[in-house]
Amino acid sequence: MLAYIGKRLLATIPVMAVVAVFVFAMLRLTPGDPAAIIAGAAATSQDIADIRTKLGLDRPIVSQFFVWIGRMFTGDFGESFFFKKQVAELIAGRIEPTLMLATTTMILSIAVAVPLGVLAAWKQGTWIDRIVMGFSVLGFSVPVFVIGYVLIFVFSIELQWLPVQGYQPLSEGLWGCLVRLVLPSVTLSVIYIALIARITRTSVLEVLGEDYIRTARAKGLTNVVVLMRHALRNAAVPIVTVIGIGIALLIGGVVVTESVFSIPGLGRLTVDAVLARDYPTVQAVILLFSLVYVLVNLLVDLLYTFLDPRIRY
């Protein structure tokens, strides 16, 4: 097991290297000059050239890349072109809202989707099953920002139950923090509930036809015990897999949701940095998201061994 973990961790190095090259190249090929944005509309060509020299953008692209990589190995992500702060400091100040939003979203999604999927499988062909599957289709069809604006209109503007936008740090109180995360979490969780519920239903349906399920029922076990202890446990591997895949969707959803609800997290930081052509910030945030996704996939693979004893690495 330790050898497998070591190999997987070593395998992240070339993956992150490819991501770094891709992100660096795409940013440089994208239209727009950071120096022109910083200089402003009234700047002269000489002003823009001076800023490019100061930022090191006048060097060859290959030289810029190796300078950036060299600094990365020393823990220096560079200074933000737009925010005029160290990128590491920016990320540290924005990571809490994103972590809180991601955590509450995943907890809500799993807590709702797994029971819904099991219920739909148990009630296959009934109106309950059709409602759950209809919600799954709807959850994939409606864009995240549309759901967010509808929830804001209903629960914040019309009913005035919840705050419209913003975020309260944990240091200022847990309740206030959670209240402001209700609408963003529900907005972001819709697509994950739809995805996880659908996969859960399919996986549980496959297991319900197995011989050991009939044996459990023949022993007189209740439906709840059969579904939760036998069916769901043996159907857990595909469910855990899709939860891990959902992390990739979560990264994209965070960017949109934080913008809709004005949450000062990494998603909002990414949007602001992209609009300002803030190369160091965009590069660092995308690398961080990529690393998280790779580590989550490793964790999912390790969970397989606990869910299915037949799997060994």
What the chain holds in terms of domains, given with CATH numbers, is 16-73 (no CATH), 93-307 (1.10.3720.10)
**Cβ burial, residue 29 (10 Å; 0-12/13-18/19+):** exposed
pLDDT of residue 255: 81
Q: Tell me what pLDDT residue 173 has.
A: 80
Percentage of the chain modeled with pLDDT above 70? 93
What pLDDT score was predicted for residue 86?
Answer: 86
257-285 per-position pLDDT tens digit: 888 888 888 888 888 888 888 888 888 88
pLDDT of residue 53: 82
Specify whether the CB–CB gap between 293 and 220 falls below 8 A.
Answer: no
Tokens 């897999």 correspond to what residue? 241
Yes or no: say if 300 and 241 are a contact pair by the CB < 8 Å rule: yes
Sign of the alpha-carbon dihedral angle for 289, 250, 268, 137: positive
Residue ranges in the chain modelled with pLDDT below 50: none
Phi, psi torsion values for 86, nearest 5 degrees: -65, 135
This model's pTM is above 0.85: no
> Do 120 and 201 meet the contact criterion of CB atoms below 8 Å apart?
yes
